[in-house]
């Protein structure tokens, strides 16, 4: 490959060829050299044979050290797996590793600060720490730290806003990430997934920071429509990846936080070591998450001044993807039934290519307050398609015949005139007694 020269006069510079780029990456000497030399001057500045041999020996040595490090990590992983398989105790009345009885009449014990299990002093390790209070690790957790420390650490915080049904994840920074590019650096970004759930609507990500192993994002990502039930049964997967423009993005490491660890309205800070892939057990057929088609936030208010019901369609979250591009073009329809004259239909605007649309639209139904108890509000979410039938995503029914949170929402509206009541509701595949036809 010939060298490409840029610039004029004394400001010329040359882009090295592929082999020179590889050498410069290993030696960390930069990517280009400035030159305005003649061919004779350039030849006089060429490296001698001995200098080339010295450079190549440094590169070979670096490659050998890298290979040795990979072998060492492989042995650590194998030893860690063997230790986990050979545990003999319960970690409470017995040493987790060797199974010896602990307590006043038994062997002295220490408490592992990572796994919160008890081990005897022979199976515990006292890591060096600047803290005055002694903190112990069991041998398994000590080995685990050794293995995961090569991938880096992630500093983040989580907050469950119970009143607004929102989960806020603030990605602060990472430290000591594994280099993924030829220049010895990475272009890292962070992805979030709520598990179980494979929908693209569960995926959020930060911006990408270029050429760094110690990125600082200070970025907050928010999941809306999170319920107390979600906080009990769902897990947040946080992955750090390296972005590549011309190839597939590369996985660096991840950490997983069961949401049940969080307390409502209290920020919890984490400083976790990144781990390698941790595959999830396949979902069972009867898993409730398979039935969900997303969430919708609806507001209800009976206006005494206008003598009617005001229905607000605020937003949707985690909608099912209906199009080949992995997204949907959602809109919402509302009916107040029974509707003999078929005049109660209202429809929002269509939001393109999104699984988390914001509508913020209100519809008015003129109706006497006493008649509300005989009515049912049906809300359906659709995917708009040009030239063919629109796809049904999901629906929800609110009224006296409903149950659970849907019934409670309706009752709260009836009991609190002129007050807007907002609630999140889970969309289902069908509404009882209703045939969907757009």
Residue 16: per-residue pLDDT: 60
Residue 87: per-residue pLDDT: 87
For residues 260-288, average pLDDT: 68
Identify whether the C-beta of residue 48 lies closer than 8 Å to the C-beta of residue 40. Answer: no
Residues 6+ apart with CB under 8 A from 407: 398, 399, 400
- Terminal C-alpha separation, the chain: 61
Residue 213: per-residue pLDDT: 86
Residue 435: per-residue pLDDT: 41
For residues 222-230, average pLDDT: 85
Cα 273 to Cα 177: distance, rounded to the nearest angstrom: 10
* Highest mean pLDDT out of 80-89, 168-177, 287-296: 168-177
Between 130 and 173, name the one with better pLDDT.
173
- What global pTM score does this model have? 0.49
Q: What is the pLDDT of residues 74-123, one digit of tens each?
A: 677 677 778 888 888 888 888 988 888 887 777 888 888 888 888 888 88
The answer, yes or no, to whether residue 278 has pLDDT greater than 60, is no
Residue 280: per-residue pLDDT: 40
Identify whether the C-beta of residue 1 lies closer than 8 Å to the C-beta of residue 17. Answer: yes
Peptide bond into 427 cis (omega under 30): no
Cα 285 to Cα 392: distance, rounded to the nearest angstrom: 22
Q: What is the pLDDT of residues 391-432, one digit of tens each?
A: 888 899 998 888 888 899 998 998 999 999 999 998 887 654
Residue 299: per-residue pLDDT: 95
What is the strand order of the sheet 204-205 is part of? 204-205, 188-195, 235-242, 250-258
The answer, yes or no, to whether residue 179 has pLDDT greater than 60, is yes
Report the sign of the C-alpha dihedral through residues 114, 120, 121, 122, in that order.
negative
The answer, yes or no, to whether residue 296 has pLDDT greater than 80, is yes
The answer, yes or no, to whether residue 358 has pLDDT greater than 70, is yes
For the chain, how big is the Rg over CA atoms in Å? 30
């Amino acid at each position: 490959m010939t060298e490409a020269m840029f610039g004029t006069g004394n400001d010329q510079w040359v882009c090295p060829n592929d082999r020179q780029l590889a050498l410069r990456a290993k030696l960390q000497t930069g990517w280009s050299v400035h030159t305005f030399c003649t061919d004779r001057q350039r030849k006089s500045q060429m490296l001698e044979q001995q200098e080339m041999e010295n450079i190549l020996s440094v590169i070979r040595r670096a490659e050998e050290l890298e290979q040795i490090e990979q072998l060492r990590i492989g042995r650590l992983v194998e030893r860690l797996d063997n230790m986990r398989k050979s545990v003999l105790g319960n970690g409470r009345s017995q040493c987790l590793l060797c199974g010896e009885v602990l307590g006043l009449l038994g062997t002295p014990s220490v408490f592992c600060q990572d796994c919160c299990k008890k081990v005897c002093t022979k199976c515990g390790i006292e890591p060096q720490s600047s803290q005055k209070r002694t903190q112990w690790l069991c041998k398994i957790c000590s080995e685990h730290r050794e293995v995961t420390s090569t991938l880096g650490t992630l500093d983040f915080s989580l907050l469950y806003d119970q009143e607004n049904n929102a989960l806020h994840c603030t990605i602060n920074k990472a430290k000591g990430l594994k280099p993924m590019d030829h220049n010895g650096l990475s272009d890292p970004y962070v992805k979030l997934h709520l598990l179980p759930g494979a929908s693209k609507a569960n995926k959020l990500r930060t911006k990408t920071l270029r050429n760094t192993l110690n990125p600082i994002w200070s970025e907050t990502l928010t999941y809306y429509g999170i319920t107390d039930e979600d906080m009990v049964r769902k897990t947040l997967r946080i992955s750090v990846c390296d972005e590549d423009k011309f190839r597939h993005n590369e996985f660096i490491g991840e950490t997983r936080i069961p949401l049940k660890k969080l307390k409502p309205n209290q920020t919890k800070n984490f400083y976790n070591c990144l781990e390698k892939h941790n595959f999830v057990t396949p979902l069972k057929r009867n898993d409730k998450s398979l039935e969900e088609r997303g969430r919708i936030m609806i507001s209800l208010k009976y206006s005494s001044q206008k003598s009617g019901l005001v229905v607000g369609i605020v937003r949707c979250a985690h909608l099912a993807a209906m199009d080949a591009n992995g997204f949907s073009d959602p809109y919402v329809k509302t009916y107040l039934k029974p509707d003999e004259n078929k005049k109660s239909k209202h429809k929002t605007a269509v939001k393109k290519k999104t699984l988390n649309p914001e509508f913020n639209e209100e519809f008015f139904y003129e109706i006497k307050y006493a008649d509300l108890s005989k009515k049912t509000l049906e809300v359906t979410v659709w995917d708009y398609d040009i030239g063919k039938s629109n796809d049904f995503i999901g629906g929800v029914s609110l009224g006296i015949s409903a149950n659970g949170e849907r019934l409670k929402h309706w009752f709260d509206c009836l009991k609190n005139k002129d007050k807007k009541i907002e609630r999140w509701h889970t969309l289902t595949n069908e509404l009882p007694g209703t045939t969907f036809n757009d």
